[in-house]
């Protein structure tokens, strides 16, 4: 469950970062031409990509308890309060794993979006190194 959600967060962050960079090639290259470091030119897209990957998990936390409960634990006779707390722990772990996965994926994508000479290599039609 944790690996599956980390996988989804990774995919969402990568897709969002790729789409944002591809859609703002002109802005990024303008920044590079004016002397900005590559990380600064794509900083807003890093933020939106990580936030987009975290959003479903944050919503999952907010809606806990209204629909889902740890059925297996209750059927096996565990305390309902402990089953509820355990469900919260599982979802909090999913949030943490997804946050780390989304952040690491986005930062690695950022590193690969530019060449060693600080040129943008990710643009429409070109996949880059």
Taking residue 42's Cβ as centre, other Cβ atoms within 10 Å add up to 26
Residue pair 25/120 in contact by the 8 Å Cβ criterion: yes
Q: Considering only residues 1 through 40, tell me which ones interact with other proteins, judged by CB under 8 A.
A: none
CB of 5 to other proteins, least distance (A): 13
Q: According to the binding rule CB under 8 A, does residue 54 interact with other proteins?
A: yes
Q: How far is the CB of 105 from other proteins (least distance, A)?
A: 12
**64 to 103, contacts with other proteins by CB under 8 A?**
64-72, 74-75, 78-89, 91-93, 95-96, 99-100, 103
Q: What does the DSSP assignment read for 37-80?
A: -HHHHTHHHHHHHHHHHHHHHHHHHHTTTTS---HHHHHTT--H
Minimum CB distance to other proteins smaller for 14 or for 69: 69
Residues 6+ apart with CB under 8 A from 107: 46
Binding site for other proteins (CB under 8 A): 43, 46-47, 50-51, 54, 58-59, 61-72, 74-75, 78-89, 91-93, 95-96, 99-100, 103, 107
């Amino acid at each position: 469950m944790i690996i599956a959600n980390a996988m989804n967060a990774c995919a969402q962050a990568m897709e969002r970062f790729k789409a944002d960079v591809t859609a703002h090639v002109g802005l990024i290259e303008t920044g590079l031409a004016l002397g900005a470091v590559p990380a600064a030119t794509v900083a807003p897209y890093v933020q939106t990509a990580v936030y987009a990957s975290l959003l479903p998990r944050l919503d999952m936390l907010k809606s806990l308890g209204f629909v889902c409960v740890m059925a297996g634990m209750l059927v096996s006779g565990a305390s309902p309060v402990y089953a509820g707390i355990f469900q919260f722990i599982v979802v909090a772990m999913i949030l943490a794993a997804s946050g780390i996965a989304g952040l690491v994926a986005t930062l690695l994508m950022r590193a690969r979006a530019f060449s060693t000479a600080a040129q943008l290599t990710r643009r429409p039609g070109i996949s880059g190194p």
